[in-house]
Structure 1
Amino acid sequence: MSEVLILSAHPDIETSRTNRAMLRAATNLLGVEIADLYSLYPDGEIDVDRECTRLLDARTIVLQFPLQWYSTPSRLKEWQDTILTHMIYLDYDHQGRHLSGRRFMLAVTAGASEATYAEDGRNRYSIDEILRPLQATAYRCGFTWEQPFVVFETRGAPDDVVRAAASRYAARIAGLLSKLEMAA
């Protein structure tokens, strides 16, 4: 059983300095499992049994992804449609109900600045408003919503900024692990 399951969904992780650094920082934490959905399922055929077991074995679920067109990358959306539909709508009694109470956090990277995510900014909506459908998903699954971890201005970020973001991410994941220890 993993304490924290990070479902990473970057379509080209090799080009993402920030997402790679965040994953490296989290890898060093005891009790963290990382599943890269693009490398696990290059053809998009998601293994339902494997992913349902992975979710049922985790106490905290983190979705890590770059914001793309105000949403998740396609593989993560496919994962949601396949796995959460199966567990919550098709097999709630045996699987879905067991997800209730698990902590759920988003770890999101955005190339643009935070200022663009405002009513008067280029994107017209705050990051919280843009992520609201995922918060609704968490609520529907019975997850305990954690404030998202968001890194802005990742495109062309200097190395020290990338390292600082990775360090903050590792600290945030460590904080989730501490919450689990206190609850035990």
Structure 2
Amino acid sequence: MNDTTLILSFHPDLGRSHANRAMLDAVKDLEGVCIVDLYGLYPTDEVNIAAEVQRLLSAKRLVLQFPVQWYSTPALLKAWQDSVLTQMYYIAYEVQGRKLEGLPIMVAATAGNTPQAYGETGVNLFPLEQLLQPLRATANRCHWAWCDPFLVYQANKLPSSELDVVAAEYRARIKQFQLKA
């Protein structure tokens, strides 16, 4: 394993994104960061399992970055999990999955609503962190080291000045993630 921080971007339309694109732009020049636009690679949702397994095996850290859609991940992230993680953890655990034990993982998720909308009294009923629990369970099952997520609210409504702040915070968080893991 080298010193790569692998950021897998699962935005269905990264070209029209505001926050996700700004976040990726903020970290693209960091040493050791490798950004992969999965929707750009797999527009038909057909994942190249062998290539993705190799990509994961070459990473020292993993970031899954995506917009929250209907209380979940985008469809391609689920398809990626179903194909790649099934291969690594159910079909070839000894030669693939086992090699990633302890892999630090962080989720970077953007949401369109306010923080107040995510909670018992909000329209979305659950805190955003709670909606990410299936990913945390997956990390646990894979024996990966879960790190606190980076969350952005009102991602599609932020003015450019606030987007700049979010991007700078994300850059700092990725640098911190690289140092800790």
Shift of residue 167, structure 1, vs aligned partner: 0.6
User: How many residues of Structure 1 are paired with residues of Structure 2 in the alignment?
Assistant: 180
TM-score, with structure 1 as normaliser: 0.95
Conservation of the 8 A alpha-carbon contact between 1:2 and 1:33: no
Shift of residue 92, structure 1, vs aligned partner: 0.4
Conservation of the 8 A alpha-carbon contact between 1:66 and 1:110: yes
1:3 matched to 2:8: no
Amino acid at match of 2:26: A
Partner of 1:64: 65
Q: CA RMSD in A?
A: 0.9
Runs of 4+ residues deviating >4 angstroms: none
CA-to-aligned-CA distance 1:73-95 (integer Å, 9 cap, x gap): 01111101110111011110110
SS in 1 for 2:105: strand
Shift of residue 6, structure 1, vs aligned partner: 0.3
Judge which range, 50-59 or 40-49, deviates more. 40-49
CA distance in 1, matches of 2:162, 2:92: 43
Partner of 1:111: 112
Query: Which runs of no fewer than 5 residues in structure 2 stay unpaired?
Result: none
Partner of 1:31: 32
CA distance in 1, matches of 2:34, 2:147: 18
Amino acid at match of 2:97: G
CA distance in 1, matches of 2:168, 2:143: 29
TM-score, with structure 2 as normaliser: 0.97
Partner of 1:86: 87
Amino acid at match of 1:115: Q
CA distance in 2, matches of 1:96, 1:178: 24
Partner of 1:16: 17
